[in-house]
Amino acid sequence: MTDDKRRRHSAPVVDGLGKSASRAMLRAVGFTDDDFRKPQVGVASTWSNLTPCNMHIDGLAREAAKGADAAGGKSLIFNTITVSDGIANGTEGMKYSLVSREVIADSIETVAGCEGFDGLVAIGGCDKNMPGCIMGLARLNRPSVFVYGGTIQPGENHTDIISVFEAVGAHAQGNMDLIEVKQIEETAIPGPGSCGGMYTANTMASAIEAMGMSLPGSSAQNAVSDTKLADCEAAGAAVLKLLDEDIKPSDIMTRKAFENAITVVIALGGSTNAVLHLLGMASTVGVELDLDDFVQIGKKVPVLADLRPSGHYMMSELVAIGGIQPLMKMLLERGLLHGDCLTVTGRTLAENLAEVDAYPEGQDIIHAFDNPIKADSHLRILFGNLSPTGAVAKITGKEGTHFTGKARVFHSEEEAQERIMDGTVVAGDVLVIRYEGPKGGPGMREMLTPTSAIMGKGLGSDVALITDGRFSGGSHGFVVGHITPEAAEGGPIALVENGDTITIDAVNNTIELDITDEEMQRRHQAWQAPAPRSTRGVLAKYARTVSSASIGAVTDLP
């Protein structure tokens, strides 16, 4: 392929006498005459020092730029935002978390579209910035590679961020003193990298690699490591190869690639947020995907990974035995992955996995097919009169598979948290946290603070929690989120009253409110929509444009 074809977007920006002013601007940032003849590779960095997940990504961006330059391109690094769920959880600030996914996608599209980059590397290291990066790359549809920033190391005594959240609940229950809580607080987060279990960050990194948008191994590397630096440099070079072969995200992010991603997420016991993000990513690239696809794939794919939050091990321990590549080879040999899917290497998934070694003998992080953690998916898509268009639960079986209890209704996360901590919430309750959906929140906050408090107080097997909000990848227990239609749209969750009986069945995949259809209709007629919680600014814009969680909570539907 000629340089002109590799430069289909940058050439109109810098070629010819009429673009002298453009070249003058670029000379000031380091371009030479030779650079104007090279394909331009934008490196989208999510660096900031406000969270350990992203505090090291400026260095990774420079490695990616170095790789692109060495391969014959001209790199330009630019930043997009990130926010910290771990810091914002339990506060009003958490309403901006899912919103940030759309802002990130918008900003990557905006910068690359304006500047005329021919290809891109995007580097993400936290829950929302990874799907946000992929959605931005998909909108642009230019040769691109995603790089994961890498996982954090365990804290002292095998602790992590979830250990801190649960310590708060343990203290409220009288099972931990303040000195012990402070010790965990001081040592659980030892340095850079994303949260250490199979929480949303590691889940999405694994899904993106399984989809073929990252180089093999990118999802299972320590944030501070030579392998991660090499991954970044190789990603920069890979974009030039993709330009030569004219391979774009739409060639990689196919229907079968999304099925591969779902399969790997299930095998790893990944976060419920993967459902929301994979639906959003599929919508952006124009692939038809819906909640039933998770149901059908889940019937044949077991949970094989004994990883936190419901399991024992951390991502860094999976890294030490080979990451997810051997698992993907197991799934491929079992006929559970599509091996013919194209990837950012320019080769198929099967070709990438051909020389991958099996896990070492004696490891017990990834189980064999004849000894699964769970025989089918832990991601349960529930339907019923309480959620006619679907809800998402993460049920590993350790919580049980059925729960019937009396509703205890709250109109915000904060209200529920107060009643958990003061002992109002008791065994047998089904906590209903509503008006926390994409529109109603707005922003669909994670319920990590209340779920951690429930676990810390020892109620994990005795209390259920349902919400039109969502959950952190670190949440566990008998929890159901993404209930749709959400309360702000008059969905049935808005009609639940204190004392109503609610039954959750994770075998038959149902969630039912035990009232008659006539009573449901009577309550609906009496219901009045609440006033919007935000009337100006980004939250208000989000509430006006966001779609249902059942189709990915995207803001750019045609």
Round to whole Å and give the CA distance between 61 and 51: 17
Round to whole Å and give the CA distance between 213 and 109: 17
Structure tokens that stand for 372 in this block: 């699964």
Contact 450/413 with Cβ under 8 angstroms? yes
3-state secondary structure of 496: coil
- 472 as an active site residue: the answer is yes
Q: Active-site residue among 48, 97, 472, 475?
A: 472
- Whether cis (ω within 30° of 0) applies to the bond prior to 442 is yes
85 annotated to a ligand binding site: yes
| Of the candidates 339, 266, 338, the residue with the CA atom closest to the CA atom of residue 296 | 266
3-state secondary structure of 43: strand
Round to whole Å and give the CA distance between 410 and 117: 48
3-state secondary structure of 41: strand
- Containing 474, the helix (H) or strand (E) segment is none
Sheet of 74-79, strands arranged across = 74-79, 40-45, 119-124, 144-148
Round to whole Å and give the CA distance between 363 and 306: 11
290 annotated to a ligand binding site: no
Contact 276/345 with Cβ under 8 angstroms? no
Round to whole Å and give the CA distance between 392 and 265: 14
248 annotated to a ligand binding site: no
Residue 172 class from Cβ within 10 Å (0-12 exposed, 13-18 middle, 19+ buried)?
Answer: middle
Within 8 A by CB and 6+ apart from 45, the residues are 57, 58, 60, 61, 77, 78, 79, 80, 123
Q: Could you give the residue ranges of the DSSP H alpha helices within 439-496? A: 448-456
Round to whole Å and give the CA distance between 209 and 147: 9
| C-alpha distances in Å from residue 139, one per residue of 15, 250, 295, 368, 454 | 25, 9, 27, 39, 40
First to last CA, the chain: 34
Enumerate the β-bridge partners of residue 478.
464
Structure tokens that stand for 514 in this block: 């035990």
Place of tokens 């698992």: 327
Place of tokens 């790893």: 268
Binding residues: 53, 85, 127-128, 446
Binding residues for Mg(2+): 85, 127-128, 446
Binding residues for [2Fe-2S] cluster: 53
Which of the residues are catalytic?
A: 472
